[in-house]
Amino acid sequence: MHSLQQALDGLLGDELDTPSPIVVRETMQRNIERMQALADERHQHLRPHVKTHKCLEIGRLQLAAGAAGITAGTVGEAEVFAAAGFDDIFLAYPVWPAGTKGRRIRRLAERVGLRVGVDSFESVDALADAMGDAPDRLQIVVEVDCGARRSGTTAEQAGRLAAHARARGLVPVGIYTYPGHGGSRPEDRVGAAKDQDQELTAAVRALAGVGVTAEVVSAGSTPTVEYSTSEVITEVRPGEYVFCDRDNVRLGACTDDQIALFVASTVVSTQVPGQAIMDVGTKALGREGNPQRGYGGVAGDPAVLSRLNEYHGYLQVPPEQSQPTVGTVLPVVPNHVCPVVNSFEELVVTDAQGASVERWPVAARGLLG
Ligand SMILES: Cc1ncc(COP(=O)(O)O)c(C=O)c1O
């Protein structure tokens, strides 16, 4: 029997409502320790991205294992973790401090060690304005693009941005990049990590050229971290490694037995032959996938969800298999775990036998700005 099915079977006596996100604690802890060991071995700081779990208890486990601080994706995430005592936060996003965000960033920067990403002169100016008479409380990390073509400036421009931040009284501490182009096909992971090394190395030189020492040289991501070996890198920011998912297994970035989160889901209808409808749709799993690869799979089973509506998942039952009966509860493994966590109020955390259940709030759920 698949280990996730075993955990699920243990839980079923406990009035488990479905759909529910189930975390197998030992597997998650092994993932946390493995990533920490990898970073330690390379003398890099580990700064896990909390957008994956949005959960204070899990952030604390990462710090307890040795993480240097956390990475957040939104001001709201940073606020929730800061309020709970996390005091070293990198908001790795080209944040634009309009609306209430300028005030909120200043308040955070006055309370905790806060670094924010920038990739434009305009955002440096807006952040300096937001910080008023305390610009030196805010650390700036310049984002460079290493090929993902999302955000980030050129290595050359990074020096000028750092110099501008310094001129405005902010504290430029280094550079970061996100090698997102290594997260689509397995064969792209090595190349994206190489691009990352090259751009970061050039940006370190550009900052040195304006007299700024890049104390922080921050690299991504679960798919590329294995290859992020360059001496220039001081910290890594993987997020998904904590739970893993089908996409990372497909990329070769994690293995099936490292999957620590699944969605317990019930078969609710079997009226159409060759198909079982499960109570997980896009609201639980997100929209990532395609009909061939599926939008989620059942642990230890070749069957995939070939289509989703909001509350319905279409499980294609291979011809050689019999349809599961209505009421059967199955462990559905998501393609991309991050949107799944953001769909639920709490995580059901259990051991490999499905005993000792705890419920941990997804404290930063829905805080998208
Ligand atoms: C800026 C940044 N850093 C780090 C990460 C973590 O990458 P992953 O979730 O693939 O581990 C992400 C993911 O979106 C990101 O956008």
Domain boundaries, the chain: 3-23+253-361, 25-242
Q: Tell me the β-bridge partners of 313.
A: 278, 308
Q: pLDDT confidence of 12, banded at 50, 70, 90?
A: confident
CA of 177 to the centre of ligand 1 (A): 10
Residue 237 near ligand 1, beta carbon < 6 Å: yes
CA of 269 to the centre of ligand 1 (A): 37
CA of 51 to the centre of ligand 1 (A): 8
CA of 83 to the centre of ligand 1 (A): 23
User: Among the CATH numbers 1.10.340.30, 3.20.20.10, 3.20.20.60, 3.20.20.70, which is that of 25-242?
Assistant: 3.20.20.10
CA of 333 to the centre of ligand 1 (A): 20
**Separation between Cα atoms, residue 168 and residue 262, nearest integer Å:** 47
The protein residue whose alpha carbon is closest to atom 2 in ligand 1 is 178
The answer to whether residue 14 scores a pLDDT higher than 90 is: no
Residue recorded with tokens 């509506």: 309
Lowest mean pLDDT of 32-41, 169-178, 291-300, name the range: 291-300
**Separation between Cα atoms, residue 315 and residue 5, nearest integer Å:** 17
Terminal-to-terminal C-alpha distance of the chain? 42
| 49, 254, 368, best to mutate for ligand 1 pocket (most atoms within 8 Å of CB) | 49
**Separation between Cα atoms, residue 28 and residue 244, nearest integer Å:** 9
The reported pLDDT for the residue numbered 319 is 87
Residue 178 near ligand 1, beta carbon < 6 Å: yes
CA of 11 to the centre of ligand 1 (A): 32
Q: pLDDT confidence of 318, banded at 50, 70, 90?
A: confident
Contact status, residue 180 vs residue 220, Cβ threshold 8 Å: yes
- The yes-or-no answer to whether 3-23+253-361 and 25-242 have a common fold is no
Residue 222 near ligand 1, beta carbon < 6 Å: yes
Q: What values do phi and psi take at 288, rounded to 5? A: -80, 135
Contact status, residue 183 vs residue 221, Cβ threshold 8 Å: yes
- In ligand 1, the atom with minimum distance to the C-alpha of 176 is 1
- In ligand 1, the atom with minimum distance to the C-alpha of 241 is 11
Residue 173 near ligand 1, beta carbon < 6 Å: no
Residue 221 near ligand 1, beta carbon < 6 Å: yes
- Domain boundaries 3-23+253-361, CATH class: mainly beta
The answer to whether residue 244 scores a pLDDT higher than 80 is: yes
Residue 240 near ligand 1, beta carbon < 6 Å: yes
Q: By C-alpha distance, which of 338, 317, 340 is closest to 328?
A: 317
The protein residue whose alpha carbon is closest to atom 7 in ligand 1 is 221
CA of 277 to the centre of ligand 1 (A): 32
The reported pLDDT for the residue numbered 141 is 98
Residue 47 near ligand 1, beta carbon < 6 Å: no
The reported pLDDT for the residue numbered 1 is 83
Q: What values do phi and psi take at 192, rounded to 5? A: -65, -40
Tens digit of each residue's pLDDT (9 = 90 or more) over 82-137: 999 999 999 999 999 999 999 999 999 999 999 999 999 999 999 999 999 999 99
**Separation between Cα atoms, residue 254 and residue 61, nearest integer Å:** 20
Percent of the chain predicted with pLDDT > 90: 96
| 178, 236, 251, best to mutate for ligand 1 pocket (most atoms within 8 Å of CB) | 178
Look at the alpha carbons of 57, 63, 69, 73 in this order and tell me if their dihedral is positive or negative.
negative
The answer to whether residue 253 scores a pLDDT higher than 90 is: yes
CA of 133 to the centre of ligand 1 (A): 32
Residue 152 near ligand 1, beta carbon < 6 Å: no
Contact status, residue 340 vs residue 21, Cβ threshold 8 Å: yes
The reported pLDDT for the residue numbered 183 is 87
**Separation between Cα atoms, residue 260 and residue 249, nearest integer Å:** 12
Please tell me the total number of residues recorded for the chain in this structure: 369
| 46, 90, 237, best to mutate for ligand 1 pocket (most atoms within 8 Å of CB) | 237
